[in-house]
């Protein structure tokens, strides 16, 4: 059996267990020994971070060759039109090459916790929410994709990774599962 930890990473927490500068890390929230993140989330991003003590499972969840879907909810500046959503779905050209096709849609604002600190507010510029489901995991990929189609991300929440999601987990909360890695991602 492998240990799997589902953690709702708050804004500002680093996706590592130590930091010489004294910033908030996973160690401030997760007392489970010998687990390591399956991928990363920027300090500015929030949401689901999966950790495990099983190296094979960690690889299968984080390596894009295994195509585990990751669902992101992005609050963007402006109101995306159908053409922008189609571009996101088809794949976007970034400096490090084109992204793979994604599932993309405009969504109703989700019922989420308040972010601390709150996003910047501009009275003259509306915001909207986009759901993106990707299978890659490039550095700041979702933020770069939305910016490339003209809608910069203001808030980014990873809702799910593979079969797991944030349901029932508030910011800073986690739960541990004992799983059989061969059955979970078969």
**How far is residue 163's CA from residue 176's CA, in Å, rounded to a whole number?**
15
H/E segment holding residue 148:
helix 141-148
Cis geometry, peptide bond prior to residue 117 (ω within 30 degrees of 0): yes
Pairing of the two strands 174-179 and 2-9: antiparallel
Annotated catalytic residue 42: yes
What's the CA gap between 10 and 116, in Å, rounded?
8
- Residue tagged active-site, from 42, 81, 165, 180: 42
What is the spatial distance between Cα 27 and Cα 55, in angstroms, rounded to a whole number?
19
Beta bridge partners of 88: none
Report the sign of the C-alpha dihedral through residues 79, 81, 83, 89, in that order: positive
Beta strand spans in the chain (E): 2-9, 36-37, 46-52, 70-77, 93-94, 97-98, 103-107, 127-134, 153-161, 164-165, 174-179
State how far the alpha carbon of 174 is from the alpha carbons of 5, 20, 166, in Å.
7, 24, 9
Instruction: Cite the active site residues.
Output: 42
């Amino acid at each position: 059996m492998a240990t799997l930890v589902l953690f709702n990473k708050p804004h500002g927490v680093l996706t590592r267990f130590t930091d010489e500068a004294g910033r908030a890390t996973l160690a401030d929230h997760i007392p489970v020994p010998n687990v390591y993140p399956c991928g990363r989330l920027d300090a500015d991003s929030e949401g689901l971070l999966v950790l495990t003590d099983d190296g094979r499972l960690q690889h299968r969840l984080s390596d894009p060759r295994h195509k585990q879907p990751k669902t992101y909810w992005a609050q963007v500046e402006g109101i995306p039109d159908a053409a922008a959503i189609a571009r996101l779905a088809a794949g976007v050209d970034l400096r490090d090459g084109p992204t793979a096709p994604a599932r993309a849609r405009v969504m109703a604002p989700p019922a989420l916790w308040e972010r601390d600190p709150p996003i910047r507010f501009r009275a003259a510029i509306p915001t909207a929410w986009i759901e993106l489901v990707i299978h890659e995991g490039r550095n700041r990929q979702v933020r770069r994709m939305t910016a490339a189609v003209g809608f910069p991300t203001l808030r980014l929440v990873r809702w799910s990774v593979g079969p797991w999601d944030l349901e029932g987990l508030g910011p800073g909360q986690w739960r541990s599962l004992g799983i059989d890695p061969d059955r979970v991602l078969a």
